[in-house]
């Protein structure tokens, strides 16, 4: 292998031709024309058209196999897991081979614990970035920006704005299952059990409208208290149509959501939670409170939650590749630990995402006419 070839990084995107993976691959090609991109999955022929369009290649990668990376013809520089890895085979295999990996699908307490055990057993010598917080780490990155700006935060409130008609792929089933079971956020510095779809209150969403929002279990509630030192972190979900949120709450209270987690009802759950949708816009609001001051970040993506997740995944991929000045340490880390607020906001805006910052020293954030029209619609 020539020195020129060695200097050209290659990213393996497992799930690279899926709903989010496709958008990640296209964005990375635009941002890094010389980056080698390999689209991996169980049926690589499904990624052939995309690979031809962006100058990538395909490879067979089955996360159900004990060693998913064993048959790769060429060793990649890093791996992005954009598909679920329920048995930790991909994570453990990458760690054992010394390959940097970013995973955007681990959003629950148990899955992070499993990952920590898998990485420890594999004696990871390369970075393992768990970027499964809301929208593939976007919520965590914006939380880090707010905390860094404020300086002394006692409470973080995160509101995720979603549409019941947005595009949702098969790997969303993990979030749907977590709606049925307790999770363990940090409140006032202590880990406590909480129940999804409770604690409803009205919140001001990223689009400027007030809506009811209910508690949901997300990864950033597990990590931010430790990584950023914030005693209380709560994440709530608001839907564009409040009636859809109350319908979910009704399914939870009647036990239907928990019943749908049974394997025998997998097809029913998929029909409810997986859909092509229209790609309605998605939003995130982060509010950081502390003595005498509140700062706020609003993120609004007119292209929907799959697109916003793809932007978060791009940030994660660039970190494990060591691009744009990022150098992650070996072992486990989370997005907020390598946050670069100025660069992260620039990446979001370059992808067409609206970012507004309130209470920042450099405010007001410039707001273009297109942003005003989207926020007012």
User: How many residues are listed for the chain in this entry?
Assistant: 377
Counting the structural domains of the chain, the total is 2
Let me know whether 216 and 354 are in one domain.
Answer: yes
Residues 179 and 278 in one domain: yes
Return the CATH number at 296: 3.30.360.10
Residue showing tokens 């691959």: 25
Segments forming the whole domain that contains residue 246? 138-305+350-376
Asked if residues 283 and 160 have their Cβ atoms less than 8 Å apart, the reply is: yes
Q: Are residues 161 and 215 in the same domain?
A: yes
Q: What torsion do the CA atoms of 78, 84, 88, 90 make, to the nearest 10 degrees? A: -30
- pLDDT digit string, tens, across residues 171-219: 455 566 678 788 999 899 999 999 999 999 999 999 999 999 999 999 9
The owner of tokens 């816009």 is 281
Residues 172, 290, single domain; the answer is yes
Q: 46, 17 in Cβ contact below 8 A? A: yes
Read off the pTM. Answer: 0.89
Q: Tens digits of per-residue pLDDT, 311-369? A: 999 999 999 999 988 889 999 999 999 999 999 999 999 999 999 999 998 754 444 43
Residues 12 and 214: their CA atoms lie apart, in Å, by 36
pLDDT in tens, 228-264: 999 999 999 999 999 989 988 998 888 877 776 666 4
DSSP letters, 71-96, are T-SS--SEEEE-S--TTSHHHHHHHH
Shared domain for 111 and 171, answered yes or no, is no
Q: Taking each helix axis from N to C terminus, what angle separates 219-227 and 138-150, rounded to the nearest 10 degrees? A: 30
Is there a single domain that holds both residue 122 and residue 144?
A: no
**In this structure, what token pair is assigned to residue 266?**
């997998």
The answer to whether 119 and 106 are in contact (CB under 8 A) is no
Residues 327 and 363 in one domain: no
CATH number at residue 36: 3.40.50.720
- Summarize the chain as % helix, strand, coil (round to 5): 40, 25, 40
């Amino acid at each position: 292998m020539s020195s020129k070839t060695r200097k050209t990084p290659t990213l393996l995107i497992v799930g690279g031709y899926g709903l989010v993976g496709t958008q990640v691959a296209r964005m990375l090609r635009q941002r890094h024309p010389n980056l080698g991109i390999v689209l991996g999955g169980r049926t690589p022929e499904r990624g052939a058209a995309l690979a031809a369009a962006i100058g990538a290649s395909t490879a067979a990668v089955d996360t159900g196999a004990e060693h998913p990376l064993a048959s790769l013809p060429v060793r990649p520089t890093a791996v992005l897991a954009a598909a679920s890895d329920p048995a930790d085979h991909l994570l453990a295999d990458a760690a054992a081979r010394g390959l940097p990996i970013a995973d955007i699908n681990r959003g629950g307490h148990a899955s992070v614990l499993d990952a920590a055990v898998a990485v420890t057993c594999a004696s990871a010598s390369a970075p393992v970035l768990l970027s499964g917080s809301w929208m593939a780490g976007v919520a965590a990155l914006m939380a880090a920006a707010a905390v860094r700006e404020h300086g002394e935060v006692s409470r973080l409130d995160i509101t995720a704005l979603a549409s019941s008609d947005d595009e949702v792929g098969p790997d969303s089933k993990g979030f749907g299952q977590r709606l049925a079971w307790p999770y363990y956020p940090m409140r006032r510095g202590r880990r406590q059990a909480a129940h999804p779809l409770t604690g409803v209150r009205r919140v001001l969403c990223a689009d400027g409208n007030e809506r009811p929002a209910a508690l949901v279990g997300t990864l950033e509630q597990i990590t931010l208290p430790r990584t950023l030192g914030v005693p209380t972190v709560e994440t709530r979900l608001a839907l564009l149509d409040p009636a859809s949120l109350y319908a979910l709450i009704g399914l939870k209270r009647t036990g239907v959501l928990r019943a749908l987690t049974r394997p025998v009802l997998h097809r029913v759950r998929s029909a409810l939670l997986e859909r092509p949708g229209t790609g309605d816009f998605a939003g995130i609001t982060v509010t950081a409170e502390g003595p005498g001051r509140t700062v706020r970040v609003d993120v609004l993506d007119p292209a929907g939650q799959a697109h916003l997740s793809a932007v978060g995944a791009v940030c994660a991929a660039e970190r494990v590749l060591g691009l744009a000045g990022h150098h992650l340490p070996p072992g486990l880390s989370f997005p907020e630990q390598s946050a670069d607020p100025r660069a992260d906001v620039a990446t979001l805006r370059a992808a067409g995402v609206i970012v507004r910052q309130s209470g920042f020293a450099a405010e007001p954030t410039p707001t273009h006419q297109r942003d005003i029209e989207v926020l007012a619609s």
